[in-house]
Structure 1
Amino acid sequence: MTRPIRIGVQIQPQHADYAAIRRAAAQAEDLGVDIVFNWDHFYPLAGDPDGLHFECWTMLGAWAESTSRVEIGALVTANSYRNPDLLADMARTVDHISDGRLILGIGGGWFQRDYDEYGYEFGTAGSRLDELGEALPRIRNRWDKLNPRPTRDIPILIGGGGEKKTLRYTAEHATIWHAFGDVTTLTHKAGVLDSWCETVGRDPGEIERSTEASGKPGRRAEELVEAGFTLFVLEASGPAFDLSAVSDWVAWRDARNGSA
């Protein structure tokens, strides 16, 4: 069975007050996207480094109430910022608030200012990924212990393309894999993921493949669909949150799915 094309939007919670962020999430839902993401940082990643910014998970709890159809999640949660068992409980709670619409997006973390300002140990890229590998089973184990349990098997999205650790964790734990790069790079990384799936005994078809989108759908999007990518995520940053490209991607999705 062919996996359907899906469209996401990442509402980057920087340089805008919360009312504007809430309106952007509502607009994305009204335009017909499948998923609305934010990100997990404490400071803007572009523009004024001390500009307006809001925290990820309290926002997801609010989105769980203010949206009704779209899935919601972080692209992606930094594993280092929260105890894994606490994060599991937070995710379970937002899962219930949203009636089963949460995706747990997670990665090793990378933005050093977040770590320095909030007192987390930055370590190395390798040590942060090792911690992610330790956290993922803890999260699943905590879900089994919680009362009430999650409403569903919460999808886990893992972001990144590291071939030795990240893609192995993806094969072991993820429902969705999100990565960046050109078609050649992404095709190669997808092949590595398939190899890890074979190693760990997982059907690679169980993992949805996701990447960024911009402009209008074109040759790159078609080539990525042929390479197995079916989730395309546009980005929108404050203060304007320009969602003008979303309608084209939603129309392309509908036409592509209708002809599949």
Structure 2
Amino acid sequence: MRPSFGIMTPPQQVDYADVLRVWREADGIAAIEHAWLFDHLMPIGGPVTGPAHEGWTLLSALAALTTRLRLGVMVTSNRFRPPALLAKIATTVDVVSGGRLDLGIGAGSRPSHPVARVEYDAHGFPYHDAEQAVAALAEACQVIRRLWTEDEPFDFHGEHVRLTGAFGNPKPVQRPHPPILVGGVASATLRVAAEHADVWNAPGHDLEAAARRSARLDRYCAELGRDPRSITRSTVLHASYEHPERTREEIGRALELGFSHVVLGLPSPYPERVARWVADELVAPFA
């Protein structure tokens, strides 16, 4: 599969103007095909009292001020928003962008990630165990797709999601619906991806482990009678400004292992013309 390259600008410890500058520059560079934010309500790096912009609100603003990039949140925490509300938010962004949204979604932060856990207590969100979080994710994927595609109101009575007279209008620009990217490496999450994902994302800090999870995803697809090649494999890699050769090595290894959707996470502060640097220093050798 032809590789595609994108950037990720975590909206923490930065100003809106900084993120907008990078996205507008990237929007004019064909080698960069997609751009991503993350979904945290407080910083998970640097001072916890520093700025952190809400991902979907910021994404809508960036969608209105770009024209070409595919865009999304890597990945939306299903713990933060009821799925029917998320479907409405995502539809609005797809409309604003003219049909450029990829819906990234996952179960939410791990209990073993204490820095991320802080934001749940700070915002009054319940923090259910992983089993419940993944089961709720599976129901959310069903509900979101139905709200995007069904032409009549429907009821949904799941264990975690209950809707009466649910209906989505307008529908997304993209038909039958925007691509769904499921992020996560737990076995239960992989089963959700096998059933619902168009793209599956694994973190790139251990590519060999991610490849083993990709093989497990293949097996889960086979159990469902789904062609595993119908799910694009995605990973996020850290872009090193000081050692681009190391990032290029990681990109090469990711491609060898079948991860054709490569997202390059940009550390802040963002240098001037950083998108051009990404294209020339990191992406060009693989074009």
Quick one: higher RCO (CA 8 Å, sep 6+), 1 or 2? 1
Give, in whole Å, the separation in 2 of the partners of 1:138 and 1:253: 38
Residue 219 of structure 1: CA displacement? 4.2
**Pair 1:157 & 2:181 matched:** yes
The letter for the 2-side match of 1:12 is P
Matched, 1:223 2:241: no
Structure 1 Cα separation of the partners of residues 180 and 27 of structure 2: 21
User: CA 1:251–1:195 in 2, change beyond 3 Å: closer, same or farther?
Assistant: same
- Does structure 2 conserve the Cα–Cα contact (< 8 Å) formed by 1:84 and 1:139? yes
Deviation per CA, 1:168-210: give whole Å up to 9, x if none: 1111111111102433212211110000110112111111111
Q: Secondary structure at the match of 1:80?
A: coil
TM-score normalized by structure 2? Answer: 0.82
User: Are 1:78 and 1:107, in contact at CA under 8 Å, matched by a contact in 2?
Assistant: yes
Equivalent of 2:10 in 5, 9, 12: 12
- 1:23 counterpart residue number: 21
Contact 1:13–1:237 under 8 Å retained in 2? no
Q: Which residue does 2:234 correspond to in 1?
A: 210
Q: Do 1:156 and 1:173's aligned partners in 2 also have CA atoms closer than 8 Å?
A: yes
TM-score by length of 1: 0.90
Q: In structure 1, list runs of 5 or more residues that go unmatched.
A: 255-260
Match 2:146 to one of 136, 141, 145? 141
Match of 1:36 in 2: 35
In structure 2, what is the Cα distance between the partners aligned to 1:234 and 1:67?
19
CA distance in 2, matches of 1:143, 1:98: 16
Name the counterpart of 1:56. Answer: 55
DSSP 3-state at the match of 2:13: coil
* Residue of structure 1 aligned with 2:132, choices 124, 127, 136: 127
Q: Is the 2:248–2:282 Cα contact (8 Å) retained in structure 1? A: no
CA distance in structure 2 between the partners assigned to 1:29 and 1:241 by the alignment: 16
- Give, as a single letter, the amino acid of the residue that structure 2 aligns with 1:94: V
SS of 1:177's partner is strand
CA contact (8 A) 2:182 2:201 kept: yes
When the two chains are superposed, the root-mean-square deviation of aligned CA atoms in Å is: 1.7
The aligned counterpart of 1:252 is 285
What displacement does 1:17 show?
A: 1.5
**Aligned residue-pair number:** 251
Cα pair 2:76 2:104 within 8 Å, conserved = yes
What is the DSSP-based 3-state SS (H/G/I as helix, E as strand, rest coil) of the residue aligned with 1:81? coil
AA matched with 2:169: N
Stretches of structure 2 lacking an aligned partner (at least 5 in a row): 110-115, 150-166
**Taking every aligned residue pair, what percent have the same amino acid on both sides?**
36
Task: Give 1:226 deviation, angstroms.
Answer: 2.8
Counterparts of 1:73 and 1:219, CA distance in 2 = 26
- Distance of 1:101 and 1:39 partners within structure 2: 17
Greater Cα offset, 219-228 or 51-60: 219-228
SS of the equivalent of 2:102 reads: strand
SS of equivalent residue, structure 2 residue 214: helix
Inter-partner Cα distance in structure 1 for 2:14 and 2:138: 34
Is the contact between residue 234 and residue 246 of structure 1 (CA under 8 Å) also seen in structure 2?
no
Paired AA for residue 7 in structure 1: F
Displacement of 1:245? 3.6
Measured against aligned partners, the alpha-carbon deviations of 1:85-141 in whole angstroms (never above 9, x if no partner) come to: 010011111111111100100111112122111111112222211211121101111
Q: Which residue of 2 aligns with 1:178?
A: 201
User: Quick one: distance in 1 between partners of 2:250 and 2:54?
Assistant: 33
